[in-house]
Amino acid sequence: MWALHLAAPLAVLWLLLANPEDLNHRFRWEHPPSHFWLIVAVAGVNVALGAMISQAATRRQDARLLLVSLVFLSSAGFFLLHGLATPTVILDKGSYGFDIGQPVGLTVAAVLAFVSSLPLGPRAAAAILARGDLLRAGLVVVLVVWGWASLVEGLTPLSAPPPPGGGTIGVFSWIGAGLYAVAAAMMFRIHRRRPSAMLVSLMTAYALLGESMIVGFFRPNWLLSWWEWHFLLSLAFVFVAYSAYIQFRREGSSQGLFDSVTLNATVRRIQAQYDEALEELVGHIRQMGESGSRIPVSLRLAGKFRLNEGQAAVLEQAGQALAVERELSTRLGALVDVGRQARVGLGEAALLAGALERVKQAYGDVRIGLVSNGQVAIGARRFAVDDFKDIEAITGGGVVVHPLTVKGVLAGALEVPVGTTRQDEALAATLASQLSIALENARLYRELETLFRQYMSPDVAASLLADPDQAALGGSLVELTALFADLKGFTSFSERVAPGEIVEMLNRYHTAAVPCILRHGGTIVQFVGDALLALFNAPATQERHATHAARAALEMQVAAEAIAAGNPGYPRFRIGINTGLALVGNIGSPELRGFNAMGDAVNVAARLEGQAEPGTVVIGATTREQIGPAARVRSLGDLSLKGKEQSVEAFVLTALE
């Protein structure tokens, strides 16, 4: 539709010129006063637009706005000189200056319009701005000289009668029209990136000015086609003026009428200024809330950005809404972080310290007190357990105190400053609930650490905590490395000593052996008297599990030798290791179950342990193959093991590189 509207004037021109006997020649209206006052009115509108854009250019320090203002001012100036040269106004008859004054002005404006549409870089823009006063002064000088030359009769050929058929600037009219077309297209590209009604108005004006140059090329004066270019010229300026008026009515201020026309760098600077203004507004609103002041700080920003009272009121509301929104987001983020900190393994002290530090950033001076000897102490204030009976919170002294509970029993209290918005009370209650859950989880995890984890491998305990379904009966076939260890000579030792000494000896050996296994990722699944079974690669997946099992076994022997050296008569460890497939899972009944592994690979590990000498580690062929060249071994040949029809190749592991 935009293109069709712009094509209509050229279609009318073609219709008027197609037939010499048509309406164009039959209609001739020569009325100098009407022509003069039309020019004065349109030129006045144009000068007002140019002045407004010039002010915006100075305020925004933008080179494009400066050039656009010169487009309007130069076209207005030459248009006014064209009006002053109207016959019977100053000169008695038509003049050459009357005929070509406006085409010359439009050509000068076309060059400025073309340059204004270019994507000017920082250096070019700075150079244009630095010469802004010189450009304005130069335009004034050109207009004065042209007016003097064309209005003083007999001074120059410009004041002389035009040649027969009227005067034109020839091919320069088409060059000017081309420059306007390019400028309109470039403005359209800017509009595609940041749509704006003012940009549409400006590129429409450029297109209409270009068409007026084409229409003005076809003369003589006072015919219908001659009046058409006056109409197009007036329409271009009035269209921009009307768009500016509509935008002014909508926004209530002329502050940002032409901001969309500015260079990209200016747009970014304006956006940064508005962001800074909002930040400043939010900061002042927060200070108002703390100090109790009710002075509308947006009035200060209104002066800074030249806003009217309506815009200042909207800015005040927007700033308050933004401050509330940011405060709400900050507090919700704190709630999320508190929930994230309530994870397995985080102690109560660390949990409360981390939560308190994070919560203070969002809620202000928050304090936490825990129950001790039937009381909760928060600073100098003391609360009895009964103070929170059947109530949700205690309010007073500018703070709200919420109870913290564990399993429905009072465990502490949370003190939060009284909020200023309707969401604050609900957020404080939610925070107390979140901290109660976190505190309860921390204490339950501590109990699990003390009880649950001491009766099984940490890997098994962690797996069950993360996925309770793993406690279901059943299992799966996986490749693992099984490590069996027992004390050679335990039976004879038990016959010689008291039961208490037996327990002490076992605890000393297991205290030394267990860390070696756990350090290398093993899972101890059972202790049976003096023996233990550890699995590698089950239940947690583990790379190079055979190597980890071998290193754990060698370290166990070193630790056990240190104990045996200081206690003559103590039995000594012997260890068997084998790698293969086994059924791993929970074995037992619904009432009592245990995590274990079954299969030929586990049985072979137990038989290899029986073949080992005290203080040695015996491994199977599969284990040695998976360890690779790093294993230093001594072959035991093919062994006949109980329960195995075929012999099993075995090795004594002496070291690992």
Residue pair 156/91 in contact by the 8 Å Cβ criterion: no
Between residues 216 and 16, the one the model is more confident about: 216
Strands 394-396 and 399-406: antiparallel
How would you classify the pairing of strands 617-620 and 572-588?
parallel
% of the chain at pLDDT higher than 90:
21
pLDDT (0 to 100) of residue 145? 85
pLDDT in tens, 505-519: 999 999 999 999 989
pLDDT for 298 equals: 57
Average the pLDDT over 591-613 and give the result.
89
Paired tokens of 213: 């140059």
Model pLDDT for residues 154-177, shown as the tens digit of each residue: 777 777 777 766 667 777 777 877
Residue 365, classed as helix, strand or coil, is coil
Which spans in 473-632 are helix H? Answer: 490-496, 499-519, 545-565, 600-611, 621-627
Most confident of 37-46, 221-230, 361-370: 361-370
Whether this prediction's pTM lies above 0.75 is answered by no
Rounded distance between C-alpha atoms, residue 189 and residue 427, angstroms: 49
pLDDT the model gives residue 470: 55
CA 217 – CA 210 distance, rounded (Å): 11
Distance of CA 226 to the CA centre of its chain: 59
Task: For helices 197-217 and 2-18, give the axis angle rounded to 10 degrees.
Answer: 10
From 383-387, 420-424, 507-511, the region with the lowest mean pLDDT: 420-424
Q: Is the pLDDT of residue 62 over 50?
A: yes
Dihedral of the CA atoms 112, 117, 123, 128 (nearest 10)?
Answer: 20
Query: Do residues 556 and 544 touch, judged by C-beta distance below 8 A?
Result: no
Of residues 637 and 10, more confidently modeled: 637
Q: pLDDT category, 58, cuts 50, 70, 90? A: confident
- List for the chain the helix, strand, coil content (%; round to 5): 60, 15, 20
Inter-helix orientation angle 499-519/545-565, to 10° = 150
pLDDT of residue 510: 93
Q: What per-residue confidence (pLDDT) applies to 187? A: 80
Residue 252 has pLDDT above 60, yes or no: no
Q: Find the helix or strand (DSSP H, E) in which 228 lies.
A: helix 224-251
Dihedral, 448, 454, 460, 463 alpha carbons, nearest 10: 10
302: helix, strand or coil: helix
Burial 544-575 (b: 16+ CB within 10 A, else e): bbbbbbbbbbbbbbebbeebbeeeeebbbbbb
Q: How far apart are CA 504 and CA 510, in angstroms?
A: 10
- Say what the pLDDT of residue 232 is: 67
State phi, psi for 391 to the nearest 5 degrees. Answer: -130, 155
Question: Alpha-carbon distance 516 to 533, whole Å?
Answer: 13
Whether residue 292 is predicted with pLDDT greater than 50 in this model: the reply is no
One-letter identity of residue 306: R
Mean pLDDT, the chain, as a whole number? 78
pLDDT higher than 80, residue 473: no
pLDDT bin (cut points 50, 70, 90) of residue 290 is: low
Amino acid residing at 324? V
Name the nearest CA neighbour of 128 among 319, 236, 262, 255.
Answer: 262
pLDDT of 23 over the 60 cut: no
Strand blocks (E) in 238-285: none
DSSP state of 367: E
More confident residue, 398 or 308: 398
Residue 360's pLDDT is 80
Quick: pLDDT tens for 511-563: 999 999 989 989 888 888 899 999 999 887 889 999 999 999 999 999 999 99
Q: Are 624 and 591 spatial neighbours (Cβ–Cβ below 8 Å)?
A: no
Residue 19's pLDDT band (cuts 50, 70, 90): low
pLDDT at 37: 76
Q: Which range is least confidently modeled, 139-148, 343-352, 417-426, 561-570?
A: 343-352
Looking at residue 513, its pLDDT comes to 94
